Chain A
Amino acid sequence: MIRSQLQINEDSHIAMRKPHAVVVTGLGMVTSIGTGRDEFWNSLLAGRCGFGPVRSFDTSRYPVHVGGEIADFNPHNFVFNLDAGLIGRSSQLAIAAARLALADGTLTVSNTNRDRFSVCLGTTSGEPHFIEHFDDDYVKGNLLQVGNGFLHGYPCHVIATNVATEFDLSGEVVMIPTACAAGNYAIAHACDLLHADKTDFVLAGGADSFSRITYTGFARLGAIAPELCQPFDRERKGMIPAEGAAILLLERKEQALSRGANIYCEIAGYGLTCDAHHMTAAHPEGKGAARAMKIALQESNIAPQEVDYISAHGTGTVTNDRLETIAVKRAFGDHAYKIPMSSIKSMLGHTMGAASAIQAVVCALAIAESKIPPTMHLYNRDPECDLDYVPNVARQCQVKVAMNNAYAFGGNNSSLVLTQPRGLER
């Protein structure tokens, strides 16, 4: 047997280096089916959908016309300190989600916590409207009209810096643009910052605004469903691009307890892997995705049988849902059939870099509220998708452990394990 040069050091167990518990104490989200925790959660449990005709650009030359835009978002309700007109829509959505998360977590930013207050967000496209306007100017020959707003508005890290500036935070401010799994990557990094005691609070999550570029690409791939997103259904016709933002307030458990914060759940561990197989297609055997799930469980010290709920990536494309099912079976074996697994993309569409952050919020609420949102429009299960997808009706059941799965272009696989706060009486 060939021995790898890289050996695991048995003596340096992970628990020694991650001695803290990281907990979620605030939730904020802006979505097409509701803004703020209660409105969003009630819509989700009721199976409400956020799809409609695309309004932000002309789709007459496209074969599809439906999208998941947030129709009634008014940035002026949330952006107070920055000029809302100068920042992009992803930043506006992120600031709104952050404001809601801070309010939900009953936390005020002050001179005493500012330098140890971080922002860590994920995105797929950053602020795409800036490059889209640039391209409009380019094709019209108006390039000299491009102003300094392009540099200060476009690069994706500005979403995180805009949040930090709006709330006057000055800890680590970082963007992790790992496409459609980015929210999970951001939350994972936030946990590491807290474990390493490099920060005291993190606003972690993801944001993406509805993008012509993204829509064009998925339309070109033939991946957009004409009307409904139907994950795991035999008749499923694809995903529906959407927009949104979700931010979770994370802190160490000792801190949360000492300030009397409401604790939704603990983030117990994560697994991140890469297929290194294809930019846009998942590995046909779901190996990388299964490996991410296994690593996440190991790091969390949780047995596969303990998982009560899986928040699925579940985009609604023919390939994703089939391969995701294979990957879950590969990771959980026969127990896969006993775990409820639903896709909120059936209601929200695919909110890109925000998607896994919104899913993480769902996991937190599932744990706190003992309810699981449904997979909507699942009328005829695909024979190759034979797990319990919680079809069409929300379910009441205790969730002690939830797994949050997300996958992305680039072959990125991510799994997060969220649990009831361990060692606390509920």
Chain B
Amino acid sequence: MRRRVAITGAGVISSLASSPSELHAALCEQRSGFRAIEEFASQGFGLRPGGNLALFQAERYLPGKSLRPLDRTGRLVAAAAALALENSGLNQEALASEEVGLVLGTMFSSMHTIGQFDRRALVEGPSCASPLDFANTVINSGAGQTAIWHKLRGINSTISTGATSGLMALSYAVDLISYGTQNAILVGGADEFCFESFCGLERAGLLKHRYIEEDCSIPFHSRRNGLALTEASALLMLEEWESALARDATILGEVRGHANAYDSRYQMEGYGANAMVRAMRAALAEGGLFAPEVDFISASANGSRLADKNEALAIKAVFNGHALGSPIVAIKSMIGETLGASGVVQAIDAIESLRTGTLPGIAGLDNADPELPALDLCTKTRNLQARSGLINSVGFDGQACSLLICTP
């Protein structure tokens, strides 16, 4: 008794572009969205590729009201929300109907504000702590601030599963529509680039590589040794199928299936691919597709040694010999690891791939890791009239999520 779910709008703020079509064009041109992260050198950290969106100006997207209550995460989300709402064509009456919900996936959310708030109280005393910042110290502040800005009064939720948060948020919203009473949900993911997250990932060895030619963060590359941390915010408008048709909405795609799984043994030899295999199989089963019917796979791979290997093994296992027939794209080679936003950015690019019939190549993948199983890695941008794409999102600690998008 599942209701169908249509994608009727998309908005993205990223290092490469601020619209789905421009983003896809940039990815197809294999442009890089990284720079050298120099700002933390004084604190003893070496140069790494990645960085924040230096040119992001929230007022461009969010005119007319004071932005002061919103921290960077709030601004990134509210800005992408403005773009997605506009793109969806929902009118003011629909937005005022108390029917539009908002779901946000995020790994760290407002961690920078949380840290700043606490440090100010430590240094200057608790009476100097900022009440404005305190409002943003809750992990759901991005969703809350965006709901206030755009007056979204339907369900409002925040999903955290680490780096898979964005795709998990999509899954959660799809089910709210499929099995529930919701008819329209703005859903996506965001994580700001900040010192705290940079420091956390650096100390955990995930950003191992240096900003030099010999090291790289290219997915599936033989010399890959760590990810490039960047930031982004991406949202989609999801609507119940009949309701979208009834208002003559432009349907960009359909979410046909999704699933997720967890395996705590991801670091153990022989178990690493488990969760991803289960997630992909269940997503395909829900969507009613056999593996050979999937036209392309958008990989989560980000240049990490273990995670990329696990994902490659999982794809090989699920597609059991058919993998050479399903090209694999990995856009993190260009846009970097955007954590909570990443799965949704992949979804937006997949929608554009379905629309334009082009798949972006994996920039810089001149030497695929020979230890990985043979896969059809899409190294050059290619033309492909695809009808379905499977999106993967893999976390740092055993989380896996898969989502199947088809042409309308």
Contact = CB atoms under 8 A, between A and B. Distances in A.
Interface of A: 2-9, 12, 14, 16-19, 61-63, 115, 123-126, 128, 131-132, 134-136, 138-139, 143-144, 146-148, 150-152, 154-158, 160-161, 164-165, 168-179, 185, 189, 192-193, 195-196, 198, 212-214, 216-217, 219-221, 272-280, 288, 291, 295, 299, 408-412
Interface string B125-165: 11101110011111111011101101111111111111001
B140 A410 contact: yes
A192 B102 CA distance: 17
A151 B201 contact: yes
Given A18-B179, A148-B204, A196-B175, 13 more contacts: A124-B138, A126-B139, A134-B115, A136-B122, A151-B200, A154-B111, A156-B139, A196-B2, A212-B121, A216-B118, A220-B134, A274-B147, A410-B141
A383 B295 CA distance: 66
Contacts of B135: 279-280, 409
B152 A173 contact: no
Contacts of B130: 220
Nearest to B119: A135
30 contacts: A4-B93, A7-B246, A12-B242, A18-B179, A124-B138, A125-B137, A136-B122, A148-B204, A156-B139, A157-B165, A161-B162, A169-B262, A170-B261, A176-B158, A177-B158, A189-B172, A192-B176, A196-B178, A213-B114, A217-B131, A272-B157, A280-B134, A280-B135, A299-B181, A409-B141, A409-B144, A410-B144, A410-B147, A411-B147, A412-B157
Given A273-B155, A276-B151, A5 B93 contact: yes
B160 A132 contact: no
Contacts of A17: 1-3, 178-180
Contacts of A277: 148
B264 A170 contact: yes
B398 interface: yes
Contacts of B118: 131-132, 135, 212-213, 216
A320 to B, nearest CB: 16
Contact of B144 (A14, A160, A217, A279): A279
Interface string B212-253: 000000000000000000000000000110110011000000
B39 to A, nearest CB: 14
Nearest to B397: A161
Contacts of A157: 107, 160-162, 165, 399
A134 B202 CA distance: 14
A131 B114 contact: yes
A217 B155 contact: no
Nearest to B122: A139
Given A192-B175, A279-B136, A135 B122 contact: yes
Which 7 A-B pairs have CB atoms at the shortest separation, nearest pair first? A410-B144, A274-B156, A177-B139, A217-B134, A165-B264, A151-B204, A279-B135
B108 interface: yes
Contacts of B260: 172, 174
Contact of A156 (B129, B154, B160, B175): B160
B328 interface: no
A412 to B, nearest CB: 6
A217 B117 contact: yes
A278 B132 CA distance: 12
A216 B93 contact: no
B97 interface: yes
Contacts of A173: 161, 262, 399
Given A143-B43, A179-B140, A189-B172, A216 B129 contact: yes
Contacts of B264: 161, 164-165, 168, 170
A412 B199 contact: no
B148 to A, nearest CB: 5
A146 B175 contact: no
Contact of B397 (A158, A212, A216): A158
Given A174-B159, A409-B141, A9 B242 contact: yes
Nearest to A158: B397
A267 to B, nearest CB: 14
A274 B138 contact: no
Most chain B CB inside 10 Å of its own CB: which residue of A2, A131, A144, A278: A131
A174 B201 contact: no
Given A157-B107, A170-B263, A176 B160 contact: yes
Contacts of B100: 6
A174 B161 contact: yes
Contacts of A288: 153
Interface in B285-321: none
B278 interface: yes
B44 interface: yes
A281 to B, nearest CB: 10
B205 interface: yes
B98 A177 contact: no
A164 B263 CA distance: 9
A172 B262 contact: yes
A4 B90 CA distance: 9
Contact of B203 (A123, A131, A148): A148
B69 interface: yes
Most chain B CB inside 10 Å of its own CB: which residue of A148, A154, A155, A217: A155
B394 interface: no
A150 B155 contact: no
A378 B90 CA distance: 48
Contacts of B129: 216-217, 220
A295 B176 CA distance: 14
B56 interface: no
Most chain A CB inside 10 Å of its own CB: which residue of B97, B118, B154, B183: B118
B275 interface: yes
B99 interface: yes
B374 interface: no
Contacts of A134: 115, 196, 199
A373 B151 CA distance: 37
A279 B154 CA distance: 16
B288 to A, nearest CB: 16
